[in-house]
């Protein structure tokens, strides 16, 4: 297959491309505007492609913006894509509250356009990066795919609206099938330290803890110690990025099946969680640095617990995680942070 990967120069997209290059015979084209993705990541992926070169498959990078509809149409005309894996998006929740239109334009409008391109140019398969943010303050824990969806910020809404566009398009077009993956808290980096999360202003807890351990931040904040959880701090389902990436390869196989449901939706997490305090302590342990953590009041909009029910993903996609180990997640995040700081 020739697979178009939007956002492949970013954190999660690059780990999926790495696995496509290492473990499959697919040709990959990355489309990215490098707004938060990196040239360096593309170079690392080129090296991985060269190391794993076989057959006459190829690896291409196109620097383009999804908002440039004329150019995107041209790119689809010039390439014979078989499948789309769509990562490109804006992903910072507080920014989405301050600037919602950026999120509706980049996430919902540009996703709608690229789906339109798939239908127009006969690209029959799509995998979409969705998020646990569509559940908002989830009504049941663990969260099932059928749990009520109630986003609490524009980021979550922009993704849920994109899901709706995908659903309606699948229902209306027999030759367009999709899998929607709802990611929980993605963390860690390639165990060989070739790629990782490079976005300097990332707000993810494990990345921030790694930056604090390495001294690129003086201290970090812990928001809220009075939640109804095991130690009073919020609990989240942290998943290693390579386990998340492997779910995409399983989803590609699933999309080839005759008896699939389309669109089908899967939660991707480990099904158990760690508290913020536990994560910080693990980072202190693996780094050997007792860094400063300031205890602050609760932040608006942080649910106490967000943990996936991943039983459908395991059963239907035959997905089996390999890196379900919070120490390993923290170690790989720390090693990556060290290599870029």
Ligand X SMILES: NC(=O)c1ccc[n+]([C@@H]2O[C@H](COP(=O)([O-])OP(=O)(O)OC[C@H]3O[C@@H](n4cnc5c(N)ncnc54)[C@H](O)[C@@H]3O)[C@@H](O)[C@H]2O)c1
Residues serving a catalytic function are 155
* 3-state helix/strand/coil string of 186-254: EECCCCCCCCCCCCCCCCCHHHHHHHHHCCCCCEEEEECCCCCCCCCCCEECEEEHHHHHHHHHHHHHH
CB of 187 to ligand X, least distance (A): 7
Which residue is listed with tokens 């050997």? 288
Contacts to ligand X from residues 291-320, by CB under 6 A: none
Contact between 88 and ligand X per CB under 6 A: yes
Contact between 27 and ligand X per CB under 6 A: no
Instruction: Choose which of 3, 5, 85, 91 interacts with ligand X (CB under 6 A).
Output: 91
Instruction: Choose which of 2, 19, 24, 34 interacts with ligand X (CB under 6 A).
Output: 34
Contact between 196 and ligand X per CB under 6 A: no
Q: Judged by CB under 6 A, how many residues of this single chain contact ligand X? A: 29
What backbone torsions phi and psi does residue 275 show, to the nearest 5 degrees?
-80, 160
Nearest to 11 by CA among 209, 236, 244: 244
Using the contact rule CB under 6 A, the part of the chain among 54-62, 83-91, 168-176, 319-327 near ligand X is 83-91
Contacts to ligand X from residues 63-82, by CB under 6 A: 65-67
Q: What is the DSSP string of 110-167?
A: HHHHHHHHHHHHT--EEEEEEEGGGGSS-SSSSBPTTSPP--SSHHHHHHHHHHHHHH
Contact between 247 and ligand X per CB under 6 A: no
Instruction: Choose which of 27, 37, 212, 246 interacts with ligand X (CB under 6 A).
Output: 37
Cis peptide before 116 (omega within 30 of 0): no
- 193 in Cβ contact with 336 (< 8 Å): yes
Contacts to ligand X from residues 114-143, by CB under 6 A: 129, 131
**Spatial CB neighbours of 172, under 8 Å, sequence gap ≥ 6:** none
Contact between 29 and ligand X per CB under 6 A: no
| Residue number with CB closer to ligand X (37 or 303) | 37
Contact between 87 and ligand X per CB under 6 A: yes
Nearest to 261 by CA among 318, 161, 179, 182: 179
- 158 in Cβ contact with 104 (< 8 Å): yes
Using the contact rule CB under 6 A, the part of the chain among 32-40, 46-54, 139-147, 257-265 near ligand X is 32-40
Contact between 36 and ligand X per CB under 6 A: yes
Q: Determine the Cα–Cα distance for residues 320 and 334; give it in Å rounded to an integer.
A: 25
| Residue number with CB closer to ligand X (53 or 264) | 264
List contacts with ligand X (CB under 6 A): 6-7, 9-13, 32-37, 65-67, 87-89, 91, 106, 110, 129, 131, 183, 185-186, 199, 204
């Amino acid at each position: 297959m020739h697979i178009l990967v939007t956002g492949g120069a970013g954190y999660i997209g690059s780990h999926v491309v790495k696995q496509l290059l290492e473990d499959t015979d697919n040709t990959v084209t990355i489309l990215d505007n490098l707004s938060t993705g990196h040239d360096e990541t593309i170079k690392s992926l080129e090296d991985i492609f060269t190391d794993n070169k076989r057959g006459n498959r190829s690896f291409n990078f196109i620097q383009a913006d999804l908002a440039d509809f004329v150019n995107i149409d041209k790119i689809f005309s010039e390439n014979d894509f078989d499948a789309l894996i769509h990562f490109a998006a804006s992903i910072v929740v507080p920014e989405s509250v301050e600037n919602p239109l950026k999120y509706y334009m980049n996430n919902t409008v540009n996703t709608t356009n690229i789906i339109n391109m798939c239908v127009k140019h006969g690209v029959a398969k799509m995998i979409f990066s969705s998020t646990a943010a569509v559940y908002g303050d989830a009504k049941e824990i663990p969260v099932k795919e059928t749990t009520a969806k109630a986003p609490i910020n524009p980021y979550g809404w922009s993704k849920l609206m994109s899901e709706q566009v995908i659903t309606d398009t699948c229902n209306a077009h027999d030759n367009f099938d999709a899998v929607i993956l709802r990611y929980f808290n993605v963390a860690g980096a390639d165990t060989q330290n070739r790629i990782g999360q490079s976005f300097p202003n990332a707000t993810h807890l494990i990345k921030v803890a790694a930056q604090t351990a390495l001294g690129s931040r003086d201290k970090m904040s812990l928001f809220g110690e009075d939640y109804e959880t095991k130690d009073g701090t919020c609990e989240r389902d942290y998943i290693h990025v390579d386990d998340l990436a492997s779910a995409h390869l399983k989803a590609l196989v699933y999309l080839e099946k005759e008896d699939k449901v389309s669109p089908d939706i899967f939660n991707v997490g480990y099904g158990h969680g760690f508290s913020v305090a536990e994560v910080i302590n693990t980072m202190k342990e693996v780094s050997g640095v007792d860094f400063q953590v300031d205890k602050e009041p609760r932040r608006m909009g942080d649910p106490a617990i967000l943990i996936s029910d991943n039983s459908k993903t395991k059963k239907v996609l035959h997905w089996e995680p390999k890196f379900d180990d919070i120490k390993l997640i923290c170690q790989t995040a720390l090693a990556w942070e060290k290599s870029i700081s």
